[in-house]
Structure 1
Amino acid sequence: MPERRFVAAIASLAVVVLPSVSSAQKPPPPNQGPPAVYPRVSVATWYQVDPDWPGTPEGMPGGHVPGIAVGPDGNVYVAVRAEPPIRVFRPDGTFVRAFGEGENSMVHHLKFDPEGHLWVADVGDHTLKQYSTSGELLKTLGTPNEKGCDETHFNMPTDIVVTEAGDHFVSDGYGNGRVVHFDKDGNFVKSWGELGVEPGQFSIAHAIAIDSEDRLYVADRNNVRIQIFDQEGTLLDTWANIVVPWGFWVTDDDEIWVCGSSPMPWRVEDVTLGCPPKDQIFMKFSTEGRLLMQWSVPKGEDGHEHPGDCNWVHCIAADADGNLYVGDIIGERAQKFVPISNGEIAGPVADADDE
């Protein structure tokens, strides 16, 4: 009797289980509802090129665009390796003026000091020149057309920043791997760094920037890192293997924009790392090194760049409205990118038919 009850129990379980297995093998009913739509679920900012910017006068020659800066007057100052080398545009692209003709050899990065004067790094004649916004040459650091590595000579300096107190810090970067400190009167204070890969050394100190706490950011380009120093030359932090940094811009909110390319290995044909770069990227960091934003644009093909492409992007600047201005070398142009939020993009991102 116990055996019969056991067999009956098993049989009853089979009656319960088998229908469920059979139903699992049936196809699901057809979807009778509307196709799925995947809306954006957060607000983000993107950038769209203004293809008509800037309005360069007809007949003014183009060239490499290594430097760009937004001035205290709100205008955009563009360095071009052609005559005239410094060109000024309103944010809407209207041409304002140009200057520096016959006074510069091979312009590089541009920076404004706290007094509203424009500094031009000239890697061709080994100097840094200070201009008024109207184009008057006010001061020169370095010995024109003489390269060296001492208190009065540079070797292809790349960039400069000036503190609120008036101290000058120069990235003496192509021929010398150092940062040079001058006081507000232009007197030599000290220098630090040398060619190398160790902390505090440089392999092309390509740009320099400063935040509101007077921390110095150096684009150590060939070493694929940004090194951060205090004004005594003490290394405070290193952001390594994130971006090959070419240019900086620091916003009023202490956000650090960096333009450049993704890390990549040395190639046999490389003279400097990442030339040509494999991509074109822009990153925004907090002063603590937190990545706040990253975006990229297509890398243009030599001589066939489309609006919004960049080819060897070299410099970046931002205005008070959040517009970004960038310049490249092979593309030989300055461009303006306008911020838009995803709320301004009409329509869903994707629907079921896209899959």
Structure 2
Amino acid sequence: MRGPAAYDCAYPSRIHLPYVFTLLLFCTCIASINTQGYEETRRFGTSQRLNPAPVYPDAAEYVDNSQYPDYVAPVQNSWSIAHQPQMNVNAAINKLNYTPVSVPGWPDSHTKLGQVSAVSIDCSGHVVVFHRASRTWNPSTFTNDNRYWNTNEQPIALPTIAVLNSSTGQLIDQWGQNMFFMPHGLTVDSKNNVWVTDVALHQVMKFPSGEKETPSLTLGVRFTPGNDNHHFCKPTGVAVMESGDFFVSDGYCNARVIKYSAAGKRILQWGRNSFHGVAQVVAKPYSFAIPHALVLAEDKGLLCAADRENGRVQCFNCSDGTFVIQFHSPVIGSRLFSVAYSPKKGGQLYVVNGPDYTSRPIRGFVIDIATKKILSQFGPNNKDFSNPHDIAISKDGKEIYVVELEPYKIHKFVEPNVEPVKVNEVSKPTPKSVEESNLNKSSANANASTIAPVKPTATVEGLSLVSTSWAGWAGVAGGVAGGLGAVLLLLLGGAALLLRARHRGGTPLLPEKESLVL
């Protein structure tokens, strides 16, 4: 048995140095863990591998996320208005001008449609809509494993795709009968090909220009949801590049975006499910709570996604899927259903929000990409929508169309005194921040310049913008936390050693068999 002097003096001096190194190692490990979490997300988001390893939610999230029909308000414990940054929303909205303005009496009153889920504009300037005729999506439409409730049911017998004259609103053509079970997304590309998604079939289809019966490309397995390389789970939308490469938002269950070649060969994917039922002011980049619609801003090298239940627009690099910028505001609220883009005035996003548990107005909003401000608002006769679901804008930026699920409506808006869209007129402005730098880098990759933004007469400040620079501080925060933990342990250890030192030459603080080992 060691004597008191040996125990109280020699033993502490002998163990001091090894434990310092142990504590330092502990600090380093904590910093490494925090940094690794971000790096893993970044690599997933920017991976260019053919089949990058996906990250999917657990079973509970998978079911909960998928059970939202596309017109109901969210559960109250999801992303909440109450957790958004505090501001006088009504006052901010009242500051906004109403533009574009609605066109009364459009479309023609004889046009009869069902739930209108999507809208696009073809190469002739005609308005093309996707609707569900007599069928509706309700909480019993899908089973708990995301399968359509009755696969023995016949497809919708009536036409589901309608083509309208943009000026008169009269019906020009209609087709799509006996093909679809639950229409959702529709896009007309620059070659006049029509792309659709059917959430009941879990498929994406491409119809060549003029073809109305047989798709030239079909992706996904009929009536079979999944999350591998060959399946979708309720895909929501498609965006097509000039090159023919295209993107699919997948969707209600899988919370991912997938890029394909023009031939339908898978190139890359990104996305994580953030639908946890936990309030978040701004969700992390690459995470989705239903990627509900897609739009391309090719002059800026961006693909933008309407992250529906996170109430934001996320924009990514078209080439490699790298996160570039996001737009989010308490004025818009916690739900954002769709997004459209026009290159006019340096680039503008048009978005529509949706109903929630607050009295927040259900409107369309115009966002300036460069200044990050909400420029204006719009609605039917300067009033609220009921259940807006999709939005499209003409190439010249003069006409905007919004479709609703209930009531079954199409709304037309026009921008007064819109100048023709011109590119390469003015060189890009010098970046003033890291966020603007990221945006301009993406634009440079697209080999296109932007027009200097025009300052609006009334705007709303405070639109949050987050770039990849935020997460670089995650590792720093982890290191600081680890360092504080190590310091705390050192202080506790030092206090224990001092207590023992005070008992030098006497009886140890505890019997030797119960002595503390530091």
Whether the TM-score (by the shorter chain) exceeds 0.5 is yes
Residue among 223, 243, 262 paired with 1:165: 243
Match of 2:99 in 1: 46
1:239-254 equivalences under 5 Å are 239-242=327-330, 243=332, 244-253=335-344, 254=347
Structure 2: segments with no counterpart, 5+ residues: 1-96, 134-157, 275-282, 418-518
Match of 1:216 in 2: 303
More divergent stretch after superposition (216-225 vs 313-322): 313-322
| C-alpha distance in structure 1 between counterparts of 2:309 and 2:375, whole Å | 23
| C-alpha distance in structure 2 between counterparts of 1:278 and 1:73, whole Å | 37
| C-alpha distance in structure 2 between counterparts of 1:276 and 1:125, whole Å | 34
| C-alpha distance in structure 2 between counterparts of 1:275 and 1:124, whole Å | 28
User: Residue 142 in 1 paired to residue 235 in 2?
Assistant: no
Over the residues paired in the alignment, what is the CA RMSD in angstroms? 2.5
1:184-199 equivalences under 5 Å are 184-196=262-274, 197-199=283-285
Residue among 286, 294, 301 paired with 2:376: 294
Task: Say whether the 8 Å CA contact 2:128–2:164 is kept in structure 1.
Answer: yes
**Between structures 1 and 2, the one with greater strand share:** 1
Alpha-carbon shift at residue 255 of structure 1 (Å): 2.4
Task: Say whether the 8 Å CA contact 1:308–1:335 is kept in structure 2.
Answer: no
Task: Say whether the 8 Å CA contact 1:45–1:339 is kept in structure 2.
Answer: no
Alpha-carbon shift at residue 51 of structure 1 (Å): 3.2
Task: Say whether the 8 Å CA contact 1:276–1:312 is kept in structure 2.
Answer: no
Deviations 1:213-245 (A, max 9, x none): 331111111112211111322111122335332
Residue among 59, 64, 81 paired with 2:132: 81
| C-alpha distance in structure 2 between counterparts of 1:134 and 1:185, whole Å | 19
| C-alpha distance in structure 1 between counterparts of 2:211 and 2:108, whole Å | 19
Residue among 183, 187, 196 paired with 1:107: 183
User: Residue 64 in 1 paired to residue 115 in 2?
Assistant: yes
Task: Say whether the 8 Å CA contact 2:101–2:382 is kept in structure 1.
Answer: no
Residue among 284, 287, 300 paired with 1:201: 287
| C-alpha distance in structure 1 between counterparts of 2:209 and 2:104, whole Å | 26
Structure 1: segments with no counterpart, 5+ residues: 1-43, 262-272, 299-305, 342-355
**Between structures 1 and 2, the one with greater helix share:** 2
Match of 2:391 in 1: 316
Task: Say whether the 8 Å CA contact 1:277–1:312 is kept in structure 2.
Answer: no
| C-alpha distance in structure 2 between counterparts of 1:331 and 1:69, whole Å | 19
| C-alpha distance in structure 2 between counterparts of 1:245 and 1:326, whole Å | 13
Letter in 1 for 2:240: V
| C-alpha distance in structure 2 between counterparts of 1:217 and 1:200, whole Å | 12
TM-score (norm 2): 0.50
SS of 1:228's equivalent in the other structure is: strand
Deviations 1:240-278 (A, max 9, x none): 3353321122225342211114xxxxxxxxxxx837984
Alpha-carbon shift at residue 147 of structure 1 (Å): 0.9
SS of 1:146's equivalent in the other structure is: coil
| C-alpha distance in structure 2 between counterparts of 1:238 and 1:48, whole Å | 27
Figure out how many residues of one structure are paired with residues of the other and give that number. Answer: 278
Match of 2:410 in 1: 334
SS of 1:222's equivalent in the other structure is: helix
Letter in 2 for 1:54: P
| C-alpha distance in structure 1 between counterparts of 2:220 and 2:177, whole Å | 19
Task: Say whether the 8 Å CA contact 1:210–1:217 is kept in structure 2.
Answer: yes
Alpha-carbon shift at residue 138 of structure 1 (Å): 2.8
Letter in 2 for 1:238: Q
Distance 1:130 1:308, change over 3 A: farther
Alpha-carbon shift at residue 323 of structure 1 (Å): 2.1
Alpha-carbon shift at residue 162 of structure 1 (Å): 1.4
SS of 2:235's equivalent in the other structure is: coil
Task: Say whether the 8 Å CA contact 1:311–1:330 is kept in structure 2.
Answer: yes
User: Residue 226 in 1 paired to residue 298 in 2?
Assistant: no
Higher relative contact order (CA 8 A, sep 6+): 2
SS of 1:247's equivalent in the other structure is: strand
Deviations 1:137-195 (A, max 9, x none): 33222222111111111000111111122211111020111111111210112211121
Alpha-carbon shift at residue 71 of structure 1 (Å): 1.0
Deviations 1:283-338 (A, max 9, x none): 2223336235221437xxxxxxx996521111112223612211011221112123
1:336-355 equivalences under 5 Å are 336-340=412-416
Task: Say whether the 8 Å CA contact 1:66–1:329 is kept in structure 2.
Answer: yes
Letter in 2 for 1:178: R
